[in-house]
Amino acid sequence: MVVQVSTSSTNPTTSNSDGSKDTIVSRDGTFWGVSYDKVDTHVTAEGFNDVTSYYKNGACVVRQINNPAGGFTLTTYDAAGAWLLAFNQNADGSYDGKHNTAGDFWGVSYASYDRAVNAKGVVVSDTYYDTCGDVLVKKTYTKVGSTVEMFDSSGQRTLVYNQNADGSHSEQHFLPGSFWGIGYASVTWKDSASDFNYENDYFDASGHEVAQQIYKTCGGFVVTTYDVSGSAAIVFNQNADGSYDGKHFVAGTHNGLDYAAYDRAFDKTGVHVADTYFGANNNILLKETFSASGATTSVDTYAADGSHDVWSATSGTFWGLSYTSRESLYDAKGFNYDIKLLDASRHVIAEKSNFCDGGWEVQLYANGGSTPTSTLYQNAWTGAGYEAVKPITNSAIADQQAYFYDASGAIQTLVSTEKGVGVRVDNYSGGVQANSQRFSANESAPLGASNQIDFFALDASKTTLAFHEDASNAFATLTLTQGHETLSFALLGQYSAGQFGLAADGHGGSLLTFTKTPALTLAA
């Protein structure tokens, strides 16, 4: 600032009754760009210069009021005594200047405006006033954008417009209306940088949200309404293809199941296609789907741990058996660990159990029976085959046979038993029988004349041998396990575990051997 001082004359200091003093100096100069010819300096009884007034031809043209805590307020006036500028300097270095200059902002005519600047010199807000000094419009600047607020004659906000740094923006209009039958006091429209209106929010007079509409970029929208507590009452989802569903937060009971909310879904033609029921924690309890005629096509039931059981009216053929519906069981992680195939009477005719390592087991039933007529096992490792255990009736040599197949489905080994006792092992190569080996009731040679039985399908590197002697000492049970495939058969007579061994047969299979007198193990 530049102050021009003339020392043409000086007036004496005047002491006031409150102890303050005024010193009036007649001199020519300029202050804040305003010419003056007299200065009145007022000092409090404590010696603080709180007010300095500058005059021109007897009229005050500038007045500066100092704040004891720091900062000051400066006002300039025209010749008629009307203020031109009100400048406020704060102790922290921030300041604002109110200009008595008319103009237009956001289509609103104003009589004066005020610009506020922070201590770093950054503009933080612009405020526009009418002739009475009431706020018409205020614009606030932030690091991430700006906000414009507009007010009516009573001082109530009519619009709040937020401009974000990324180009997205929103505008809240304080105009009452109705949406989905719900009255609101204000609505906020939110738009992306490309001017896509992605969300509208509706509020009551207290500022509580009563409804929300979100638009999907791919088409369709989601509407949520809220009750007086702020909890969702309805969530309506409209899809781009015309299908829709409405989730109602209304408690009830369905087929003996207590629920806290339910969702009803319709296809694009308006046909009711599904109902979903939820628990108090918004967890799914039950989901039903329906055909166009209204028949139930699937029922998905969830347990508390997140596992679920899906029944579906899907017909087909499985391992040569025709079924009319199926039931799939999933664990809490979504793994489908079991599938049941059902006939028209809901009896299980086949069941497939899936193992976490990729293998599986299939059991086939007949005429609604509870005992499987066949059991098949599939191992998970690369190139693994599978095993089929089939009870055989009216056979002179066996009452059960275990079939072992390679990965291509070609049979490799067939083991026959009669009442659980080993009878015969047949091996195949390329689908052609390679050999047939018979077990014996002779305790000295239970595995036949050579006391060796070869199993083409059992990989010695993946197969284990277990031995169990019956308490009667009349027979022993040998169990060969390869992955999920298990083969068990009995040998008549008295044996010990050390008499049996398992080794590679030299061509990918396992060779079971019997030694009449087990080898002794000497201590080191």
Question: pLDDT by residue (tens digit) across 243-267?
Answer: 999 999 999 999 899 999 999 999 9
* Percentage of the residues of the chain whose pLDDT score is greater than 70: 95
> What is the C-alpha separation between 266 and 292, in angstroms, rounded?
10
Which range among 58-62, 346-350, 371-375, 415-419 shows the weakest confidence by mean pLDDT?
A: 371-375
Q: What is the pTM of this model?
A: 0.62
What residues does 115 pair with on adjacent strands? 97, 126
* 48-53 mean pLDDT: 96
Which range among 14-18, 162-166, 393-397, 436-440 shows the weakest confidence by mean pLDDT?
A: 393-397
> What is the C-alpha separation between 333 and 311, in angstroms, rounded?
18
b/e sequence 296-317, b meaning 16+ C-beta within 10 Å = ebbbbbbeeeebbebbeeeeee
Which range among 10-14, 149-153, 175-179, 327-331 shows the weakest confidence by mean pLDDT?
A: 10-14
Q: Which residues contact 253 (CB under 8 A, 6 or more apart)?
A: 259
Confidence grade of residue 524 (pLDDT, cut at 50, 70, 90): very low
Q: Residue 2: its pLDDT value, please? A: 31
Q: Residue 419: its pLDDT value, please? A: 86
Confidence grade of residue 523 (pLDDT, cut at 50, 70, 90): very low
Nearest CA among 80, 50, 79 for reference residue 63: 50
Q: Residue 108: its pLDDT value, please? A: 96
12 pLDDT above the threshold of 80: no
Confidence grade of residue 426 (pLDDT, cut at 50, 70, 90): very high
8 pLDDT above the threshold of 70: no
Pairing of strands 13-15, 21-31: antiparallel
Q: Residue 372: its pLDDT value, please? A: 84
Q: Give pLDDT tens digits for 152-193.
A: 999 999 999 999 999 999 999 999 999 999 999 999 999 999
- Please report, as a single letter, which amino acid is at residue 123: V
Q: Give pLDDT tens digits for 365-402.
A: 877 778 888 888 787 776 777 777 777 665 566 788 88
